[in-house]
Amino acid sequence: MTEQKIQEQHKRIGKVVGIHGAVVDVHFPGELPEIHNALIINEKDQRLILEVFEHLPNHTVRSIAMGHSTGLKVGLEVEDTGDVLHVPVGPELLGRIVNIFGAPVDDCGPIHTEEIHPIYKPSPNFVQVSTADTIIETGIKALDFLTPFIKGGKTGFFGGAGVGKTQLVTEIIHNTTMKHGNNSVFCGVGERTREGNELYLALRDTDVLPNVAIVLGQMNESPAMRFRTPLTGITIAEYLRDWKKNDILLFIDNIFRFIQAGMEVSTVLGRIPSETGYQSTLASEIGEVQERIVSTDVGSITSVQAIYVPADDFSDPAIQAIFSHLDSVVVLSRKIAQQKIYPAMDALASSSTLDASILGDKHHKTLKATLKLLERYHSLQNIIAILGEDELSEVEKVTVSRAKKILKFLSQPFFTAEKFTNVPGVYVTVEETVDGVDRILKGEFDEYSDEPFYMAGNIATVEDSWRKMKQGK
């Protein structure tokens, strides 16, 4: 090694001068590392990566440990890598579970990729972004009809535990993989072991795991690791988009835990929070993630994000900050889940920014008419609860009957739930869904009972079920 290289290496070596839990202060006598640079501590076969967050006086940087800092001592040598954290990218990650460094955590052997990419990249500029007007069909009636996925768009699933968020995510992965051959990247931010394990088994059992790359920043890991999980996932998704020149689906579960991890990082750094208790950098941190999820001329990254709503308060600053980035909002309701209607989607609380130019005339008109009908049904529910349906006028009885049929028609059996329900899953095209709802609105099925509409496929299967019921009588 030449004398110049030795000097350069010495310039990049620092020493730990302070440890405050996950926060590690490092003194560099030579050049200071840049913000976001990765630092490495090698001690007794243990390798700990730090990320630079702040520059302090006296040639010192404040960093956060991307792992457990137990056992660190003042005086340990720290090496500046001279760059931000890089992760392996490529098709080799499909079918595997990795952590935020791209290291496998599924006990299926090492992963060898041809390329590694930095997790920090500028979002595409205005000229590079392609505004697609194409809808990605999921085969799930309620989603395709009420809140369609647009290429390069972002959809948020709002709901608490047990309302079917993960089941809906796995069904979307299954359907888009089987029908369109899409690859997916799943980011588990603050994922519990049980949740990750259930997702893995569901994807494996439905034979779609080879098309999905899974990145986990688990609940028991440091806040810095959970905070950077989406960036690793997006980096892998960007490579797959540009390599395959195709549409990639990116699932983030849960984006609220990403905000919480940012709040923890902000707290341990001693930054003053905003009035609401969240970090003052909340909006920019969300923007850093969301603005990289876009369509380009090469392909698109379409995102589905699960979002926990604290105390069911949609006015929460974190929820409002996420709202501004979404194209479609899907609210999953516990009341509907208790009625055994899946997906448990609240049609009136859910919304989409898409208009007739993207949806098409028939879909747009049918959707507007449906929402008007459901709104009227919702307003009649108090009267029904007190007086009963018999006290309604004939016109309102028809309104209630059609609304119930539509709500039940928008339920359907899932492929990924077959082993629990023993009911074969169904895939329904957008055209079939719109046609079915349109015919219900026009009164073609007013003589039918609600029963054949529940957990049915397209409207033809409803007609078959009704015919068999009549014959059975």
> Are 355 and 366 within 8 A, CB to CB?
no
337 is in an annotated binding site: no
Residues in contact with 122: Cβ distance below 8 Å, sequence separation at least 6, in sequence order: none
Catalytic residue among 47, 179, 192, 245: 192
Helices within 191-316 (DSSP H only): 193-205, 223-244, 255-268, 282-290
Q: Both tokens of residue 135?
A: 């809808």
Q: Cα–chain-centroid distance for residue 36?
A: 25
Catalytic residue among 96, 141, 151, 165: 165
| Dist CA 234 CA 252 (whole Å) | 10
Pairing state of beta strands 212-218 and 183-191? parallel
43 is annotated as an active-site residue: no
Beta bridge partners, 248, equal 183, 301
> Are 384 and 400 within 8 A, CB to CB?
yes
62 is annotated as an active-site residue: no
Q: At what angle are helices 255-268 and 282-290 packed, to 10 degrees?
A: 130
Reported as half-sphere exposure (CB side, CA atoms, 13 A), residue 328 has a value of 28
| Dist CA 55 CA 349 (whole Å) | 45
Taking alpha carbons only, the member of 307, 227, 308, 225 closest to residue 261 is 227
Q: Letter for the amino acid at 311?
A: A
| CA angle, 308 then 314 then 317, to 5° | 85
Q: At what angle are helices 255-268 and 223-244 packed, to 10 degrees?
A: 130
Residue 233 φ then ψ, to 5°: -60, -45
Torsion angle of C-alpha atoms 178, 207, 343, 466, degrees rounded to 10 = 70
Q: Which residue's entry shows tokens 């080879």?
A: 210
> Are 306 and 252 within 8 A, CB to CB?
yes
160 is in an annotated binding site: yes
161 is in an annotated binding site: yes
Taking alpha carbons only, the member of 304, 344, 347 closest to residue 162 is 344
90 is in an annotated binding site: no
The per-residue DSSP string of 337-399 comes to: HHTT-SS-B-TTT-EE---HHHH-HHHHHHHHHHHHHHHHHHHHHHHHHHH-GGGS-HHHHHH
287 is in an annotated binding site: no
| Dist CA 439 CA 435 (whole Å) | 6
159 is in an annotated binding site: yes
> Are 295 and 260 within 8 A, CB to CB?
no
162 is in an annotated binding site: yes
Q: Both tokens of residue 345?
A: 């989607």
191 is annotated as an active-site residue: yes
Catalytic residue among 191, 238, 264, 432: 191
Q: Which residue's entry shows tokens 């996932």?
A: 233
Give the residue numbers of the binding site: 159-166
Q: Give the active site residues.
A: 165, 191-192
Give the residue numbers of the binding site for ATP: 159-166
